[in-house]
């Protein structure tokens, strides 16, 4: 957007920057430029004005210094890495559960919802905070949140950031970086893909936190079938079928149920968490969109089926 604006107005901008912007000049642009210039001046003078203000807030090169509360701690960071379904999050959640206070940050509402449910069930009162809902539990010192909702002004004994490799995500990576740099916790558990280790180590070199990497192995094998499934009548109890669209999910469900041997559960991205967990996963067969297949292993230990 900014580059488009600058490209479209480069001549005008050049004149404006050299102070020669009085004549043929679009009033709309002039107004914007003056506002922008005014704002910059205000920010700059603000950043230079106060003796107590140590950071220049126009300097974006040292984001770790934006979180003094986290920097005052020497955090113990545990990096749990391994393939999916290897128990990384399970291990981190055990630490969270046994801590006096804590926060779980995940990329999805369903994950936050599952963690809140797990902690509350274990008599550890836990709030659920996502972009859509805020469920506060009396006496809670724990929070399960979607990563954008992480509170970096509070102090925690333990924090978990799940799917930390999403630091590299072009649209949501900033929230993971903010949580990684900003959460003020004595113990910080990061769960994710081993590919993220070098980047995280580099970031944490700057913050001066203590880091320990723990590698995990897959708990149950993921084995593709040697032969394609020839007919839907060969679908067995406990199988899971992954499709590419919601329409296909319902089409296949209908076809399988028409055979009369099985009932199907249905899971896909936009189903609310409550509805997803209400789906009876012990039924013959479950289906979900590829976009949501990451939920396959945590919730359903099913045999893999390819068509
Ligand atoms: N030691 C364990 N005892 C009992 N259940 C476990 C144990 N470790 C993992 N599980 C269960 O196995 C499932 C997968 O574990 P978990 O979610 O921790 O894996 P993960 O490696 O974090 O996977 P992902 O990368 O997909 O998030 C969960 O249902 C979890 O409760």
Do 138 and 257 belong to one domain?
Answer: no
For residue 167, count other CB atoms closer than 10 A to its CB: 21
Mean pLDDT of 111-138: 95
Residue 23 per-residue DSSP state: S
pTM value is 0.70
Do 202 and 121 belong to one domain?
Answer: yes
In this predicted structure, the answer to whether residue 135 has a pLDDT above a threshold of 60 is yes
Mean pLDDT of 239-262: 82
Do 290 and 182 belong to one domain?
Answer: no
Tell me whether residue 225 is in a domain.
Answer: no
Do 130 and 190 belong to one domain?
Answer: yes
pLDDT at 274: 66
Do 21 and 76 belong to one domain?
Answer: no
Do 127 and 173 belong to one domain?
Answer: yes
pLDDT in tens, 176-222: 999 999 999 999 999 999 999 999 999 999 998 999 999 999 887 77
Percent of the chain whose predicted confidence (pLDDT) is above 90: 45
Confidence band of 306 (pLDDT split at 50, 70, 90): very low
For residue 172, count other CB atoms closer than 10 A to its CB: 16
CA of 21 to the centre of ligand 1 (A): 63
Contact at 8 Å (CB) between 125 and 141? yes
pLDDT at 125: 98
Contact at 8 Å (CB) between 293 and 214? no
**Residues 162, 123, 151, CA angle at the centre, nearest 5°?**
40
Which of 81, 83, 87 to mutate to test ligand 1, by most ligand atoms within 8 A of the CB atom? Answer: 87
Q: Which of 184, 158, 186, 162 is nearest to 98 (CA)?
A: 158
In this predicted structure, the answer to whether residue 48 has a pLDDT above a threshold of 70 is no
In this predicted structure, the answer to whether residue 262 has a pLDDT above a threshold of 90 is no
Do 43 and 67 belong to one domain?
Answer: no
Please, what is the average pLDDT of the chain? Answer: 77
ipTM value for the complex: 0.95
Do 194 and 281 belong to one domain?
Answer: no
Which of 78, 90, 122, 163 to mutate to test ligand 1, by most ligand atoms within 8 A of the CB atom? Answer: 90
Tokens 């919730």 map to which residue? 299
Which of 183, 215, 247 is the C-terminal boundary of a domain?
215
Question: Relative to the CA of 91, which ligand 1 atom is closest?
Answer: 18
27 is in which domain, residue-wise?
A: 2-49
3-state SS string for 259-291: CCCCCEEEECCCCCHHHHHHCCCCCCEEEEEHH
pLDDT at 265: 80
Q: How far is the C-alpha of 182 from the C-alpha of 176, rounded, in Å?
A: 10
Cα 128 to Cα 104, 109, 183, 223, 272: the distances in Å are 10, 9, 17, 36, 14
pLDDT at 300: 38
Tell me whether residue 247 is in a domain.
Answer: yes
CA of 85 to the centre of ligand 1 (A): 5
Q: Which residue lies with its CA nearest to atom 11 of ligand 1?
A: 87
């Amino acid at each position: 957007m900014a580059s488009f604006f600058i490209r479209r107005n480069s001549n005008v901008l050049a004149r404006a920057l050299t102070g020669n912007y009085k004549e043929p000049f679009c009033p709309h642009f002039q107004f914007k430029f003056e506002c922008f210039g005014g704002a910059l001046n205000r920010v700059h003078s603000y950043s230079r004005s106060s003796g107590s203000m140590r950071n220049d807030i126009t300097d974006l090169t040292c984001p770790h210094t934006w979180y003094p509360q986290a920097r005052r701690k020497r955090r113990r960071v545990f990096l749990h890495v391994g393939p999916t379904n290897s128990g990384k999050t399970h291990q981190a959640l055990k630490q969270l559960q046994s801590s006096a206070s804590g926060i779980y940050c995940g990329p999805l509402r369903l994950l936050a919802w599952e963690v809140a449910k797990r902690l509350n069930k274990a008599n550890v009162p836990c709030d659920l905070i996502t972009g859509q809902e805020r469920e506060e539990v009396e006496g809670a010192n724990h929070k399960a949140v979607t990563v954008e909702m992480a509170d970096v002004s509070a102090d925690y004994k333990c924090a978990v950031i799940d799917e930390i490799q999403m630091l590299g995500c072009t649209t949501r990576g900033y929230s993971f970086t903010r949580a990684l740099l900003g959460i003020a916790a004595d113990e910080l558990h990061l769960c994710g893909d081993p590919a993220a280790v070098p980047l995280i180590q580099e970031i944490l070199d700057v913050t001066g936190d203590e880091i320990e990497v723990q590698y995990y192995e897959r708990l149950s094998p993921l084995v593709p079938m040697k032969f394609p499934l020839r007919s839907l009548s060969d679908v067995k109890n406990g199988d899971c079928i992954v499709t590419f669209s919601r329409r296909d999910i319902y089409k296949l469900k209908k076809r399988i149920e028409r055979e009369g041997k099985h009932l199907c559960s249905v899971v896909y991205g936009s189903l609310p968490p409550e509805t997803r967990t209400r789906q009876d996963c012990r039924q013959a067969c479950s289906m979900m969109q590829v976009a949501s297949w990451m939920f396959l292993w945590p919730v359903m230990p099913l045999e893999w089926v390819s068509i």
